[in-house]
Amino acid sequence: MQSPQNKREKHPQIPPEARRIQADSGEIWSIAEEVPVEVGFNGEAWSVMLATPADLEDLAIGLALTEGVITAGDQVQNVDIKAYPEGVSANIEVDPGAIIEARRGRRTLSGRTGCGLCGIESLAALHTPQARTYSTESPPDRAIKRAMSALDQHQTLNRETHSVHAAAWCSPEGEILTVREDVGRHNALDKVAGSLLRQGEIETPGFVLMSSRCSFELIFKAARIGASAIACLSAPTGRALDLAAALNLPVLARGPGGSIIRFEPERGS
């Protein structure tokens, strides 16, 4: 697999991640961009979403992985990024035989930043994903607190705009290894997934940390990349906990006073 890096100088036509706007008070504000991004395979469109125009190779590959359309990094030959007046396209060049067609059909061409059901064709498509059963111990509180306390310093775009989510891949000891930001929380996690896959680190032990609440689509994606737990700065939803229990995936949240609240399913349940 080639390792294209989403360097701004390689794609000068891609919109910036934020624009500067002067408010009535005269103060200059940085506003996060939200552009349509079309992801496709071998020139055939697959899904369109609204996303922050950064780390688009990571987004495309990560979405393909977490949706189960591809399973390994060496299946991807290249990702071609192009900008148009309507938005940006990310075309994944992949051996057609490596595409899992049954999973590609789970999404349509419509997507938004805030809805984990976007692109699902029917209620029947909402099933538990094929994922590993978690047998490793979840990270200790000290590791979760370490990662949570360090996340803000990695959120460069959010410090500028105050409007984007962050997803991080953390070591079992709580060191933040990879961070991606996006206007959509699930986009941010897909970018992390894509980064791990492109760098050959998808099997690296670790856990996911999100700056947002824990919704069920984040459980799906954390399961796809083999996280030992998912930790969020806000509380989970009920559906997220139901899915996490089915996958034996610990969910952790920041409680009052910085305490760590654990929602851990019983092992073997």
Catalogue the active-site residues.
115
Q: Which helix (H) or strand (E) holds 197?
A: helix 185-198
Are 70 and 76 contacting, i.e. CB atoms less than 8 angstroms apart? yes
Are 206 and 170 contacting, i.e. CB atoms less than 8 angstroms apart? yes
- The CATH code of the domain that includes 218 is 3.40.140.10
For the entire predicted model, the pTM comes to: 0.87
Note down the domain range covering 77. 8-113
Is 246 within a domain?
yes
Average of per-residue pLDDT across 173-202 = 96
Q: Which two structure tokens, joined as six digits, stand for 213?
A: 């609440």
Closest alpha carbon to 113 in 42, 195, 53:
53
Q: DSSP for 87-120? A: EEEEEEEE-GGG--HHHHTT--S---SS-TTTT-
Average of per-residue pLDDT across 258-264 = 93
Alpha helices in 3-54 (DSSP H): none
Position 266: which residue type?
E
Are 36 and 88 contacting, i.e. CB atoms less than 8 angstroms apart? yes
The tally of domains found in the chain comes to: 2
Question: Tens digits of per-residue pLDDT, 246-258?
Answer: 888 999 999 999 9
Average of per-residue pLDDT across 211-235 = 93
Q: Tell me what pLDDT residue 203 has.
A: 83
Say how many residues make up the chain: 269
Is 223 within a domain?
yes
